[in-house]
């Protein structure tokens, strides 16, 4: 009865994914998205179809384009993936035999928004800004972050999404979570975390440009999934800080990640 009552109550659903479309931002490290119709209505007569026609498409993309979730096998440190597994052995045969995207469980759990621009009194975090553990704690305030929760970190970077060069950092970098801040997240036992940037980590130009300490802490050390390129603007504008978080990855056998369409669900006022 309680389940029926919950299902019948009015909900407001926030779509946290960016659209998949030709020309969308794509990191140079990953195959971009492209879609085109390979059969269009009217391309070919179909005798016997009684006037009916069909259309279909072909699309190609990497698993880390648009809103996506990282499988635990995505990140290795010194030739090892999560659990100390040998990264080379795990990928024999052209796919991950362990810790691939097909092993990511669907998520229906409590979500918590950590709104950094609101916390720090800015519209958007500055390029290359490093979010500290203390700042995450300040954003959390009097709320709790419980084991099994999903923590979403807003930087405001989605405001630059249509400017591809700026979104990927240009010469100035991208704001993100520092290594110590990732450790703060991990100690709470969360199921996953994510942000509205393309790498979750703080990105700064220089000799350590490719360093991703948060990836090492979360994926490699802690077995915590990372969700990237979330659109958190509408959620933040509505002042929603806690919600039911729903995410289902595709069953991509042995892949390093999966496109996703996460939802935040709250009671409608």
CB 260 within 8 A of CB 18: no
Cα–Cα nearest to 189, from 109, 84, 103: 109
What is the DSSP track for 97-127? Answer: SSS-GGGPPPEEEEEEEEEHHHHHT-SSPPT
Length of the chain: 269
Tokens representing 50 are: 């009684």
Which residues, at least 6 apart from 155, have a Cβ–Cβ distance to it below 8 Å? 116, 117, 124, 125, 129, 131, 175, 176, 195, 196, 197
Range of the structural domain that residue 195 is part of: 10-24+63-267
Q: Is residue 224 part of a domain?
A: yes
Q: Report if residue 30 sits inside a domain.
A: no
Domain contains 44? no
Q: How many domains does one find in the chain?
A: 1
Q: Is residue 55 part of a domain?
A: no
Strand partners, 195: 153
Q: Is residue 176 part of a domain?
A: yes
CATH number at residue 198: 3.50.30.50
Other CB atoms within a 10 A radius of the CB of residue 212 amount to 22
Residue 5 domain-assigned?
A: no
Per-residue pLDDT of the chain (269 residues; tens, 9 = 90+): 344 445 557 999 999 999 999 999 998 889 999 999 999 998 888 787 788 889 999 999 999 999 999 999 999 999 999 999 999 999 999 999 999 999 999 999 999 999 999 999 999 999 999 999 999 999 999 999 999 999 999 999 999 999 988 998 878 899 999 999 999 999 999 999 999 999 999 999 888 888 899 999 999 999 999 999 999 999 999 999 999 999 999 999 999 999 999 999 999 87
């Amino acid at each position: 009865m309680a389940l029926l009552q919950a299902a019948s109550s009015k909900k407001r659903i926030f779509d946290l994914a960016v659209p998949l479309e030709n020309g969308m931002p794509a990191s140079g490290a990953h195959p971009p998205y492209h879609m085109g119709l390979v059969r269009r209505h009217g391309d070919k007569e179909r005798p016997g179809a009684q006037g009916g026609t069909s259309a279909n498409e072909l699309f190609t993309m990497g698993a880390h384009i648009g809103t996506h979730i990282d499988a635990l096998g995505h990140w290795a440190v010194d030739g090892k993936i999560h659990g100390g597994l040998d990264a080379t052995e795990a990928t024999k045969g052209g796919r991950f035999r362990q810790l691939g995207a097909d092993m990511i469980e669907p998520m229906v759990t409590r979500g918590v928004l950590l709104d950094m621009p609101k916390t720090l009194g800015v519209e958007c975090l500055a390029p290359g800004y490093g979010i500290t553990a203390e700042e995450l704690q300040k954003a959390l305030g009097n709320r709790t972050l419980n084991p099994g929760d999903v923590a979403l970190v807003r930087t405001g970077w989605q405001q630059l999404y249509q400017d591809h060069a700026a979104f990927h950092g240009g010469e100035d970098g991208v704001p993100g979570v520092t290594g110590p801040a990732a450790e703060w997240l991990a100690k709470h036992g969360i199921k996953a975390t994510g942000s509205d940037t393309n790498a979750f980590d703080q990105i700064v130009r220089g000799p350590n440009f490719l360093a991703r300490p948060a990836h090492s802490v979360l994926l490699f050390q802690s077995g915590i999934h990372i969700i990237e390129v979330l659109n958190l603007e509408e959620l933040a504008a509505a002042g929603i800080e806690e919600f039911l978080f729903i995410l289902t990855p595709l069953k991509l056998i042995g892949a390093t990640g999966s496109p996703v369409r996460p939802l935040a669900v709250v009671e409608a006022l």
